[in-house]
Copies of this chain bind each other. A is one copy, B any other.
């Protein structure tokens, strides 16, 4: 645990002032070529790198884009990959921050992260699935799949209703008539849209809506267990379930297995998102693909445009059915 090498150490070793070192490093003019090269040699010898923190306190610009997430789960990670790839070759580094982990309450994590990092440290932010309305921010922001409407400066999201309808129609076309829905967090707009897509597909097919067939999954594995059990414990259980996201779909399948049901023979399950685990699970999970990588790239495009002075934008990406092995015709 040696002490950090500071600009001060470099100045001292080079026999010049701190200001001169700063100018040399940042290529400002007003430094003699000989001094310049001497300073740079000392910098190399000492292995000096400026502290991001100190630099960002003084500068307005840091060259870092922040990706703010509640938690590093598969959905956010795929997005992060897209963001990172899209930022290759630009002058920006990526910094991803999961801010709600230590904070007691998940609510408002985005506001907290944004004000802790914004204005300093990051030049702009991409916020993944924020659940509250945006705070007054000091940097340009793009929200991906915001959960509370369009009040965010710029947004990138998938057309949830269409995707959910496609998933439900897929089950209907296989011959299912008792179709359950393991829904997402009902306080989130995406969950409401997905339920709406589910209902409209049922209605379009002339199937009745049965409130007993809708259980809560909360988009999370742990929160889905009870709902999955509840659906399967019904006197007249569903033969197919549309889960609001892949994590709850995977949990749905696990619970089905635990109860002695085979997927897809006894129960068809379809999810939403298409996280990597969906394709590698056995059986492979049928789902509705969100083009996460492309969404990350779109967010970057919009953010860079805002950084360059451009206005707000709302990007809507299509969701696409990915029928795989977890859905089949009902056996009864």
Contact = CB atoms under 8 A, between A and B. Distances in A.
Given A63-B102, A73-B81, A135-B47, A95 B93 contact: no
Interface in A101-134: 101-102, 111-112, 115-121
A230 interface: no
A77 interface: yes
Interface residues of A, number: 62
Contact of A94 (B72, B117, B120, B139): B72
Nearest to A64: B97
Contact of A81 (B1, B77, B83, B102): B77
B94 A52 contact: no
Contacts of A52: 116-117, 120-121
A294 interface: no
Interface in A259-281: 276-280
List the 8 shortest-distance A-B pairs measured between CB atoms, nearest first: A279-B280, A276-B276, A72-B84, A4-B119, A49-B115, A53-B120, A96-B96, A52-B116
A140 interface: yes
B84 A94 contact: no
Contacts of A83: 72
A92 B101 contact: yes
Contact of A87 (B93, B99, B101, B115): B101
A215 interface: no
A85 B280 CA distance: 21
Interface in A22-65: 47-54, 56-57, 63
